[in-house]
Chains A and B, each alone.
Chain A
Amino acid sequence: MKKLSILISIFFTLIACNSDDDFLERPPTQVLTSEQAFSDPAQVLSILADLYSRQFTLYNLDNWQSMGDFNEAFYAQTQDLANQFHSNSTWPFEGINNFWSTWDYTYIRELNLFLERIKDASIKEDLKERFAAEARFLRAAYYFELVQLYGGVPIILESQTYDFNGDPSYLQVPRSSEAETYDFVIEEADELASILAADADTKARATKGAALAMKARAALYAASLAKYNNARTPSLSLSGNEVGISSAKAEEYYNKALSAATEIINGNAGSYALYQKNPSNLSENFAAIFYDKNANPEVIWALDYLIKYKTHYFTGANQPRFGAEEEEGGALNPTLNLVQEFELLDNTFAPLATVNGNGEPIYYENQEDIFANRDARLGGTVILPGSSFKSSPVDIWAGYQLSDGTIITGTDRGDQRILPGQSVEQQVVGFDGPVAGAVQNAQMGFYLRKYVDPAPGSGQRGIRSEVWNIRYRYAEILLIAAEAAFELGQPAKAAEYMNQVRARAGFTIPLSAADISFDRIVHERRVEFAFEGQYFMDLKRFRIAHEIFDGVTMDVNDLKSGIGKANKRSTMPWGLWPYKIYNPGSENHNKWIYKEFLSNQVTAADNWQLGNYYSKISDETLSSNPKLVKQPLQ
């Protein structure tokens, strides 16, 4: 028996050796070589799709925390987050939670590899050209993000390979100047605009329109940096001009921005237009720009999402809390600082009227009356008390005020108390808040509307939202043209462009050329693009951040004065709380009053340091590449 088993094993060993001949030669079934990957258009497209999905944008829907900084919103999600943002007077040089940093040269290397490999791809020439142009577009877009954060960065346009000779210095590229980096982005965009097809229906891939929009924005940013850095913050400079652009170049850049924007406006890149599908409800119309993905003429380029495949939880985090699809929401509360910036329809600025000239409260019949006759974008950006979302009204009120001024309120959303002269408990605070100190409710008296998805299920963890992240839209092109025209001394033209955007927001009196000023330009961008991530760069490129966040505490008078000024102080986030009057028999019974509110979690006044204008290059990066220079004033 034993002998037999030995014989059998010898036999099997022998035949096993026989069939091993080609074993080591067999091609792997799970890994594609680059030749194989680049031999089929569908494969190449999927590689490109990966590169698209990794596009970097500082402010994005996957990362809603990034959207609310600079006291445009209050962080009501957790105490921890509120502390990070509101009890800290300054920003670290790399931003809170490292928000302002990215240094992803791996991504650039992969884009460079893609561009090198596609040259030898065995696919049709016209496809090859398009794919290559798209990869170049993504690379320019990433360099554009880098230059916004860091100023000049090393520009690497080939895949570097280490040759293991012990000396990596040939791989170390120094920073280009800030102007050179912007020039690279502008030139790439300019060239790509002539390669890419004009197709206004393609939103998630690079088109001629997207390239021109990138050119316009980059040129505008470079122009304003050239103009305002030298005028306002001359101490921000480095000897190699890694930061800082010569003021002599401002005019040239403004001209480039204006010409690129005009090309889109003239329709050379396809038929883009302002979104105006719902003229009867302008607030809803404005909100719909962000969630209507069906033939939306406004969107030029977007980071797209699709249910089941790629979704985000922005709506879940920020939806009104009461009756929400998930027991959470209200993470970002827009602040009064932002809300009061929305103009009255007669083109004037005014704080929300809470008291009259004698300091007595103003009584409102309906809750939303205080917001009447304002810019329609207010209702499209913010969920106001008295309005509704997903066709259910929000319930935002802070308590009852009695005739003697005492306030009766609860400590939790929808709490009940016994009112004087009654025997049964009744609700004394809204189911949506505000409750001071409690998380996830309308602590500022408002909820966020922009980018919050009205589709059923969007606030549910199992479904989530497919609202897209708009990178460039037509209204920005108009405002770029307006700003560039204004800076080039053509205020009439500027007024014409700006009035188009304002007409969509419900303004019937157009601004005249004489009305256009620096403050107007900054203000229009702030309200049009609130929570879209542009405000951060506007603060930086106009060099106004250190005046707005000057570290001085704000009282109510401070809050209400100077609305519409570009450098108005905004060091603390203020809220606006509605109260119901309880005074049976009086004419004011059940009317509404409003009070400005400062959370006791706001313990510090924000102070922007000059060193904050450029993100910190990490010590690790600096020590790996000794040719990099440090940022100024850090």
Chain B
Amino acid sequence: MKNIAYIFLLIVFGFALGACEKDNYEPPNALLSGKLLYQGEAIGLQYDRVSYELYQDGFGKTGPISSTFTTEGAFSQLLFNGTYKMVVPRGQGPFLWGEDIDQADTLLIHVNAETEQNIEVIPYWLIRNTTMAATANKVSANFSLEQIVTNNLARNIEHATLYVSKTSFASPETNIATAMLEGDNITNLENVALQLEVPEMVPTQDYVFARVGLKFIGVDDMIFSDIQKLTL
């Protein structure tokens, strides 16, 4: 009698093991990745701000897979092989894309294993030649500004701001100090200088991350320079 019980248990166990294979789907394993580029140059963005959407037709109701670009303007998604449509929703990002620059407003992407898809955009302005230095608890940044969009879609600068943070997410959201220059006060586009004093940090650390952001009038998202780690 006891033997039968053991055999029975063994069979149930066997079924349980086998069942896993039957019930589970393969996880998505095709990697789609890419970057926002302007003439090969990466676009710096704020963390979790500029969104994009991926659609795949043919499976019932259509809804987007939404996500946001990284601070370096990159994106990546694990997907199933297939054809996807990618859009950057209108008004997102400190750049022009799609209809505004006479391109298709949807990217058709055939995802197959590892796929890379870069997106060409035209930023309103670019921050160039950024140099940053830290001396005696003071952070200074020098950079030049170049207007890229000059036609009727051009945007004026609302402000240029230096953000200093304890982590690499230096942004309007996470910072310990900022220095701002209003757009009207920027006189020499070739050399803009910002300076600030780093406040006391708890717990103390002997380095900070700094980044310059540029805000345009009437555009939500800012464009950023590279993030630099500075030793105090």
Q: What's the Cα separation between A89 and B218 when bound, in Å?
A: 18
Q: Quick one: given A89-B173, A553-B178, are A610 and B91 in contact (CB under 8 Å)? A: yes
How far is the CB of A93 from the nearest CB of chain B, in Å?
Answer: 10
Contact between B63 and A623, CB atoms less than 8 A apart: yes
How far is the CB of B231 from the nearest CB of chain A, in Å?
Answer: 24
- B60-113 at interface with A (beta carbon < 8 Å): 61-64, 66, 89-92
A619 is contacted by which of B64, B90, B178, B218 (Cβ under 8 Å)? B64
- A583-634 at interface with B (beta carbon < 8 Å): 603-605, 607, 609-611, 619-620, 622-624, 626, 630, 632-634
What A residues does B174 contact at CB under 8 A? 603-604
What B residues does A626 contact at CB under 8 A? 62
Nearest CB to that of A553 among chain B residues? B178
Nearest CB to that of A624 among chain B residues? B61
How far is the CB of A628 from the nearest CB of chain B, in Å?
Answer: 12
Task: Confirm or deny: B220 has a beta carbon within 8 angstroms of a beta carbon on chain A.
Answer: yes
What A residues does B215 contact at CB under 8 A? 551
How far is the CB of A88 from the nearest CB of chain B, in Å?
Answer: 8
Q: What's the Cα separation between A432 and B89 when bound, in Å?
A: 49
Contact between B63 and A619, CB atoms less than 8 A apart: yes
What A residues does B178 contact at CB under 8 A? 552-553
Q: What's the Cα separation between A630 and B170 when bound, in Å?
A: 31
A623 is contacted by which of B62, B89, B172, B218 (Cβ under 8 Å)? B62
Task: Confirm or deny: A98 has a beta carbon within 8 angstroms of a beta carbon on chain B.
Answer: no
Q: What's the Cα separation between A536 and B63 when bound, in Å?
A: 30
Task: Confirm or deny: B157 has a beta carbon within 8 angstroms of a beta carbon on chain A.
Answer: no
Task: Confirm or deny: B180 has a beta carbon within 8 angstroms of a beta carbon on chain A.
Answer: yes
What B residues does A634 contact at CB under 8 A? 89, 91-92
Q: What's the Cα separation between A89 and B174 when bound, in Å?
A: 9
Task: Confirm or deny: A235 has a beta carbon within 8 angstroms of a beta carbon on chain B.
Answer: yes
Contact mask for chain A residues 537-565; partner B; CB cutoff 8 A; 1 contact, 0 none? 00000000000000111000000000000
Nearest CB to that of A608 among chain B residues? B220
A604 is contacted by which of B91, B159, B173, B218 (Cβ under 8 Å)? B173
B180 is contacted by which of A552, A609, A620, A630 (Cβ under 8 Å)? A552
Q: What interface size band does chain A fall in?
A: 20 to 34
Q: Could you tell me how many residues of chain B have their Cβ less than 8 Å away from some Cβ of chain A? A: 18
How far is the CB of B197 from the nearest CB of chain A, in Å?
Answer: 14
Contact between B63 and A611, CB atoms less than 8 A apart: no
What B residues does A624 contact at CB under 8 A? 61
B172 is contacted by which of A89, A611, A620 (Cβ under 8 Å)? A89
Nearest CB to that of A619 among chain B residues? B63
Nearest CB to that of A633 among chain B residues? B91
Contact between A633 and B90, CB atoms less than 8 A apart: yes
What A residues does B159 contact at CB under 8 A? 552
Contact mask for chain A residues 230-242; partner B; CB cutoff 8 A; 1 contact, 0 none? 0001010000000
What B residues does A632 contact at CB under 8 A? 90-91
Number of inter-chain CB pairs below 8 Å:
48
Contact between A609 and B220, CB atoms less than 8 A apart: yes
In the complex, which of the residues B63, B159, B173, B215 has the most CB atoms of chain A within 10 Å of its own CB atom?
A: B173
What B residues does A604 contact at CB under 8 A? 172-174
Contact between A610 and B173, CB atoms less than 8 A apart: no
Q: Quick one: given A603-B174, A605-B172, A633-B220, are A623 and B61 in contact (CB under 8 Å)? A: yes
Contact mask for chain B residues 169-188; partner A; CB cutoff 8 A; 1 contact, 0 none? 00011100010100000000
Q: What's the Cα separation between A624 and B62 when bound, in Å?
A: 8
What B residues does A552 contact at CB under 8 A? 159, 172, 178, 180
How far is the CB of A153 from the nearest CB of chain B, in Å?
Answer: 20
How far is the CB of B60 from the nearest CB of chain A, in Å?
Answer: 9
What A residues does B64 contact at CB under 8 A? 619
Contact between B172 and A630, CB atoms less than 8 A apart: no
Contact between A607 and B172, CB atoms less than 8 A apart: yes
Q: What's the Cα separation between A611 and B90 when bound, in Å?
A: 10
Nearest CB to that of B218 among chain A residues? A235
How far is the CB of B71 from the nearest CB of chain A, in Å?
Answer: 15
In the complex, which of the residues B61, B159, B174, B215 has the most CB atoms of chain A within 10 Å of its own CB atom?
A: B61
Nearest CB to that of B221 among chain A residues? A609
What B residues does A235 contact at CB under 8 A? 91, 218
How far is the CB of A607 from the nearest CB of chain B, in Å?
Answer: 6
What A residues does B61 contact at CB under 8 A? 623-624
What A residues does B91 contact at CB under 8 A? 235, 610-611, 632-634
In the complex, which of the residues B61, B62, B89, B172 has the most CB atoms of chain A within 10 Å of its own CB atom?
A: B172
Contact mask for chain B residues 214-230; partner A; CB cutoff 8 A; 1 contact, 0 none? 01001010000000000
Q: What's the Cα separation between A631 and B218 when bound, in Å?
A: 17
What A residues does B63 contact at CB under 8 A? 619-620, 622-623
Q: What's the Cα separation between A430 and B134 when bound, in Å?
A: 44
What A residues does B172 contact at CB under 8 A? 89, 551-552, 604-605, 607
How far is the CB of B200 from the nearest CB of chain A, in Å?
Answer: 13
Q: Quick one: given A89-B172, A89-B173, are A610 and B90 in contact (CB under 8 Å)? A: no
Nearest CB to that of B176 among chain A residues? A603
Contact between A630 and B220, CB atoms less than 8 A apart: no
What B residues does A90 contact at CB under 8 A? 173
Q: What's the Cα separation between A471 and B60 when bound, in Å?
A: 42
Q: What's the Cα separation between A475 and B159 when bound, in Å?
A: 40
Nearest CB to that of B220 among chain A residues? A609
How far is the CB of B104 from the nearest CB of chain A, in Å?
Answer: 18
What A residues does B92 contact at CB under 8 A? 633-634
A610 is contacted by which of B66, B180, B218 (Cβ under 8 Å)? B218
How far is the CB of B98 from the nearest CB of chain A, in Å?
Answer: 14
How far is the CB of A92 from the nearest CB of chain B, in Å?
Answer: 11
What B residues does A605 contact at CB under 8 A? 172
- A476-508 at interface with B (beta carbon < 8 Å): none
How far is the CB of B106 from the nearest CB of chain A, in Å?
Answer: 14
Nearest CB to that of B215 among chain A residues? A551
Nearest CB to that of B171 among chain A residues? A89
Q: What's the Cα separation between A620 and B215 when bound, in Å?
A: 33
Q: What's the Cα separation between A89 and B159 when bound, in Å?
A: 17
Contact mask for chain A residues 73-91; partner B; CB cutoff 8 A; 1 contact, 0 none? 0000000000000001110
What A residues does B89 contact at CB under 8 A? 630, 633-634
How far is the CB of B69 from the nearest CB of chain A, in Å?
Answer: 15
Q: What's the Cα separation between A88 and B62 when bound, in Å?
A: 31
How far is the CB of A255 from the nearest CB of chain B, in Å?
Answer: 31
Q: What's the Cα separation between A191 and B153 when bound, in Å?
A: 45
Nearest CB to that of B60 among chain A residues? A623
Q: What's the Cα separation between A460 and B45 when bound, in Å?
A: 50
Q: What's the Cα separation between A623 and B220 when bound, in Å?
A: 26
Q: What's the Cα separation between A605 and B215 when bound, in Å?
A: 15
Could you list which residues of chain B lie within 8 angstroms of chain A, going by C-beta atoms?
61-64, 66, 89-92, 159, 172-174, 178, 180, 215, 218, 220
Contacts A90-B173, A552-B180, A624-B61 known; 6 new A-B pairs at CB < 8 A: A235-B91, A604-B172, A610-B218, A610-B220, A632-B90, A633-B220
Q: Can you sample 6 A-B contacts with CB below 8 Å?
A: A553-B178, A603-B174, A610-B91, A623-B62, A634-B91, A634-B92
4 tightest Cβ-Cβ pairs between the two chains A and B:
A633-B91, A623-B61, A609-B220, A623-B63
